[in-house]
Amino acid sequence: MRVPPFARYQRLLASFGLLLSGAIIGSAVYMSIHQHTYNELYVQLHKVLQENENLTSDIANLKKTKNNQTLVNVVNVHLLPKNDTDIFSDDIQKEIEGDIKSELKVVIGQKASFVGDAQPLYERMITQRTYFLHDKKYVVQVKSIVLIQTELTIWITAEEKKT
């Protein structure tokens, strides 16, 4: 039996190897683009669900106190970076704001005059709170609390605590 010379199949084998490596590289590029797009959609979905939850709770609170204009209807929380190097991702920012907002749900439905007098109490409730998010610790400080008519707005700063 005669064995055919390898030189005859050398170009065919090189072409097949080039085709196979192109397919592998192409599929890797396609998967990276697909994963990036999926991640963007997930972040958008998380934002929309959080916004929907906030609007639903705002509607429920407004319905509860629609006939009484002297009660606090809405609590807004805004997270500001402590300095230029502390920039948080949207997920962490929304989670911290949501946690503070859920702690201050007791304010909704109370008289605005009582809430105005008890601002130091609410400030102490929030200040020096530690939150564990994504395996990191964040310490929250209150920058200012403002009560305008039926809306309580709180500006806070958060700092990642190194341990």
Query: What single-letter amino acid sits at 97?
Result: E
Mapped onto helix, strand or coil, the DSSP state of residue 19 is: helix
Assess contact for 125 and 106: CB atoms under 8 A. no
Q: What are phi and psi of 109, to 5 degrees?
A: 95, -10
Tens-digit pLDDT profile for residues 33-50: 999 999 999 999 999 998
92-130, pLDDT tens digit by residue? 788 888 888 888 888 887 887 777 787 888 888 888 778
Cβ 100 vs Cβ 57: under 8 Å: no
Question: Which pLDDT value is given to residue 84?
Answer: 67
User: Cα dist. 133→99, 137, 138, 154, 160 in Å?
Assistant: 11, 7, 8, 21, 10
Instruction: Write the pLDDT tens digit of every residue in 55-73.
Output: 998 888 778 767 766 778 7
What is the b/e burial string over 73-101, where b = at least 16 CB atoms within 10 angstroms of the residue's CB?
A: bbbebebeeeeeeeebeeebbbbbbebbb
pTM above 0.95, yes or no: no
